[in-house]
Structure formats: structure tokens, C-alpha cells
Amino acid sequence: MAPLKSVAVFWVLAVGLALGAARLARAQRAAVSAEHGIVTSAQVLASEAGLAMLQRGGNAIDAAVATGLALTSVYPIAGNLGGGGFMLIHLAAAAGRSARDVIIDYRETAPAAASRDMYLDAEGNVLTGLRSSTVGWRASGVPGSVAGFALALEKYGSGKITWAEACEPARRLAGDGHILSPGAAAQLRNSAGTLRLFAESKKIFLNGGSFWQAGDVWKQPDLAATFARLQAKGPREFYEGETARLIAAAMQKNLGTLTPEDLRNYRAVERNPLRGTYRGHLLVTMPPPSSGGIVVLQMLAMLEPFNLGRMGHNSAEKYHLLAEVMRRAFRDRAEYLGDPDFSNVPVTQLLDPNYLRHRMDDFSVDRATPSSAVAAGLGPIKLSQNAASHQARFAQESSETTHFSVVDAAGNAVANTYTLNGNFGSGVTIPGTGVLMNNEMDDFTAKLGVKNMFGLLQGPANSIQPGKRPLSAMTPTMVFKDGQLLLVTGSPGGPTIINTVLQVVINVIDHQMPVMQAVEAPRIHHQWMQDLLTYERYGISADTAALLVAKGHALKERASYEGGYQGDAETILIDPVSGIRHGAADPRKPDARAVGH
């Protein structure tokens, strides 16, 4: 557990952010430098769990697994056993071994009972409430986090850290408890509307309705018992043991969709990452079923002919260009992307340099292109009549995922992004386990032309099918220069993930910012539909905004329920000369911290 002095410092930061003192909070956050290994995550106790593995001789993969499991106990808004995600691993060259990059895809899958129209009523309208894809017992895909972390540890761990040892920090933080920060207490309180719908969630996360307060020692005995079972029986216990039995029994009792067979049949899979270049740098990033890697590489290819450094970071000229690139890439995302095991995703064509060169043929330096006029090869996706209302129903839902980055002394690295999808997922906690379930089914296309909870339009390639992985925006990414690892990054934020990663990369490469400034810098977002350029609080000056409006952009400051901020880019930069690791914990998350040795 962190010393009380450290906890107090982070409480001050949290209160500062809550009061909107963003500039003060940022002034108190600096990059952490380390000679050997470094971990940065959204919660200091989880970062420390990972660092403990490095200090015991473990590698970056060992540390990543311990960090991800610990986030379940201390960051339940997104840290999870009941969700899924993606891990990008870089294995540094060693004696008798060349460097290698690999993806662990532990994204959730649709249960066997899932069907294309399962979230439509008799009139073909998208269902709401407890029968929907966002809340309750029918909203969950089959969880992948336990299987993904286990596969990573088994195949790519150092061999010095056992599965039981990697689970121990999470078990201890749940069983012995940890002190709630103001930010964590606020997260629980702000999601009461969903959590109070389910008795188990109300008991655990809302203190029975009385609410947990900052400074309380929060204990989760059922979750601790689940980790103890995982330690004693191994990771398959989650899918075939007592935990699986409890999940399946609760689902059956509440007319949910997951079955014992769904859990027993789940497997994480390995994939080859995507690679692309930008101004002499190599990017290694996520392939489908994430859309993130393709969209980032598309946008960088469209940006490369332009001199962003000359434009300046916050200029209207640059923001106009970024918005135009974003809207074109997100248009392709909506049309073509899905699970490659079920759909023919045209990766090669979408990343073809000639195709991307022509993607900007209708770009104007003077005028914004209306999103309705941005074409894709299969023709426009037409909005249904109830699309706007579906989006409005979830307008107050914050997009919550979490990302963490790790680099060890040998140069091995992990960029991991995982999620429950919305804040606290579906709101369902499985009785007797402490396990929150995801609402990942909303990432599928519930109905063509209808936006999901993040306002995204998605195509037929992402329709619901049993065993299919829903399309994701998660974008764990690494950047290399002259064969050496330079940058490890990623972010939460629903569709904004992609544009957050893009901007961190160009801040480092084009604007040559130190890593902390690259992470701190204001961010913008455009996702094609709706035709809106959003920006962070304090992120665009009045005169810059006026110039963008004059070009035809519709602008909107990010909503206060998101803190006015976009993303949480937990990032590590390795100095190419000294080899020193610099960890930037994003100040948008008051409990985030980079720790190293």
C-alpha cells in the first residue's frame, strides 16, 4: 500500500481537478525517470504492483499482468476480470533471439445465444433499459481478461513470477482493502444510477446506498476470494471452476445470455500487429478486431505530406487539417471494419499509399468538408429515424477504458488497453465473486444506421454473430526509431482513443515535445458522424475557435461530466542516447502515476 504521504499528495491533485484547477494540477505532475524499468497506469497502487514484479526479477510481461489484475481491485470503473482487451508485447533482442512483437487478443466474444437482431423490438427499434446492449444481464460478451493475462504470462513471462504471485497484489488490495481517494469515491458515486439497479453492485460499490467516502478503507472480500481461487486452481478456474459456475448460475437466474459452454469455450488468441511508417519512424499497433491501428496509420499517411511542425501545435491551420484527416479515416472505419475471423476486412487496401493519397483529393485548406459529403467505396451509411434518440439516451455516459504501459531493464515492453466498455460495464456484479461484467455487446452493430453509446456508426461487417469479437477502438501502440524502441502509449476513451494516440505520436515526432508535454497537450476529436469537432476545456483559444468556425467546423467543448478532458495516455519514452525511461502519467487522471527503479 502507498505511504500516507503519497496518498495525501494524490488527494490534493484530485481535489484540484475536481475544482477545475487543471493548470495547477498539471504543474504538480512531472515525468518519472528510471534507469531500469518503469510502469505507468491510471492508479498508483496498480503501478506499484507491477513495479514489485520488476524488482523481483520479472520482466515487462510479468509486471503488466500484475498491474492489470490489481486494477480490478483499485480501479473497477475499467480495471476488470469481467471484460477484455488487447496487449501489445515487444520482446527485445537477446542472446539467440531476434526482437519480436506480438498481440494478445483477449477481446470479449458474443455468446452462443447471440443473434444479429437481439437488441431490436418487434417493430425493429433498438431496445432500451435492462434488455439493451448497455445495461443488465444481456449486455455482456464472454470475458477475456483472465485468459489474456494468463496466456501472456505463460508464453512471454520471465518464468520468475508465477500466476499465483502475479495475482497476489490484486488479492491483497481487495481483501485487506485500500484507502479510497477523492477521485475513486467520486467515480463510484457518479455511477450510482446504474450500479444501484443491481443489489450486489449496490452493496459492494455504493456501500449499500450510503456511498463510500474519500479516506474510507474499502474492502472487497468476494473479489479477494475469487483471486484466491485463481491462485489455487489456476486461470482456467474462471472459465471452468467455481467462479464459472457462479457466473453461469447468476446469468441463468436473471435471463442473461452467458452459459457454462460460453465460458468453457473462450480462448485468447495471438495476432500479428500492424506496422506502418511515419517520418522515418516505425509504428507497431493493433490489427482488427480493433479499428485503432488501421485508423491511426491511415491518418498518419494522410498527414505526412504536410509540415505540422511549421503549423504549430495549437494553430487553426493544424486543427483544421487534423479534423479533415480524422473524418475521412473514421468514415472508412464505419464502412469496412469488423472481426477478421468473420468478415473480409480489406486491411491492405485501406493502408495502400495510393488509396490514402487520393483520400485527401477533396481536402481544402480554406473549408471544412461536410461529413455527409465524405464518400467511401460502398456508399453512404444512412441514419435511421431513431439514430439520434439512441445517441441521446446515452449522451451522459462517459467512455471508460484504461491503458497502462511497461518497459523493463532489458527493453521488453507492454502496451495494454482493456475495458468493461462503459463506466462499470453493464452494472452487473456476479454474486459471490465481486466480478463486474462488461457491456461490450454495445460495440457491435445493433442496427445499421443507429449509433452506439459512443455515437459511433458501424457497418454490417460488425453485425452480431455467436463467437464474434466486437469492433474496438483500443489502440495500444509502440514507436521505433532506427530499430530502437522510442515510445509506448495508448489511452482509454471510446472512439477518442484513436485520436488521442495520434496526437501523442505527432506531439513527439512533429513537435518534438518532451514526453510529459506530449501527454499533457490539449487534444481534439472528430469521428465523422456526428459532424462535430470536440476539444478539451482550455484547449482552444477564442481566436483559434473563430478561425475554425469560419472554415465551416462545428465546435463543442467536451462535457463537464467527462471532466472536460479527453483520454488518459499513460506513456513511456525511452531516451535514444541515454536509454533512460521517462514515464508520463497523464494528469487528466488524478490517481495515475508512473513508478520506476
Q: What is the pLDDT of residues 488-529, one digit of tens each?
A: 999 999 999 999 999 999 999 999 999 999 999 999 999 999
Q: Please state, in angstroms and rounded to a whole number, the distance separating the CA atoms of residues 57 and 409.
A: 10
Query: Which pTM does this prediction carry?
Result: 0.92
The pLDDT value recorded for residue 452 is 74
| 439 shares its domain with 513 | no
Task: Tell me, yes or no, whether 27 lies in a domain.
Answer: no
Q: pLDDT tens digits for 133-181?
A: 999 999 999 999 999 999 999 999 999 999 999 999 999 999 999 999 9
pLDDT at residue 377 in the model: 53
Is the pLDDT at 384 greater than 60, yes or no? no
Segments forming the whole domain that contains residue 88:
45-270+400-462
Q: State the pLDDT at residue 446.
A: 86
Q: What are the pLDDT digits (tens) for 56-70?
A: 999 999 999 999 999
The total domain count for the chain is: 2
Q: Are residues 222 and 349 in the same domain?
A: no
Question: Quick one: 231 and 374 in the same domain?
Answer: no
CB 593 within 8 A of CB 31: no
Does one domain contain both 360 and 495?
A: yes
If asked whether residues 207 and 329 sit together in one domain, one would say: no
Pair 104, 273: CB distance under 8 Å: no
Could you give the CA distance from residue 277 to residue 303 in angstroms, rounded to a whole number?
Answer: 12
Q: Which CATH number belongs to the domain containing residue 310 in this structure?
A: 3.60.20.40
User: What pLDDT was estimated at residue 347?
Assistant: 96
Same domain, 206 and 280: no
Provide the grid cell at 155.
Answer: 508464453
Average pLDDT over residues 373-396: 45
| Residue 141 within a domain | yes
Instruction: Look at residue 29 and tell me if it is in a domain.
Output: no
Q: Using CA atoms, how far apart are residues 287 and 141, in angstroms rounded to an integer?
A: 20
Q: Are 137 and 57 contained in the same domain? A: yes
Closest CA to 117 of 129, 99, 133, 105: 133
User: Does residue 112 share a domain with residue 53?
Assistant: yes
| Average pLDDT of span 242-266 | 98
**How far apart, in whole angstroms, are the C-alpha atoms of residue 338 and residue 351?**
16
* Catalytic annotation present for 401: yes
Mean pLDDT of the chain: 91
| 31 falls within a domain | no
- Are 480 and 518 within one domain? yes
Note the pLDDT of residue 387: 36
Q: Single out the catalytic residue among 67, 243, 285, 401.
A: 401
The yes-or-no verdict on residue 3 having pLDDT over 90 is no
Confidence of residue 28 (pLDDT cuts 50, 70, 90): low
As a dihedral over the C-alpha atoms of residue 106, residue 108, residue 109, residue 110, rounded to 10 degrees, the angle is 180
- For cell 511515419, what's the residue? 278
> SS3 letters for 394-408?
CCCCCEEEEEEEEEC
Q: Is residue 467 part of a domain?
A: no
Q: How confident is the model at residue 552 (pLDDT cuts 50, 70, 90)?
A: very high
Enter the C-alpha cell of residue 511.
Answer: 513537435
What is the per-residue pLDDT for 17? 35
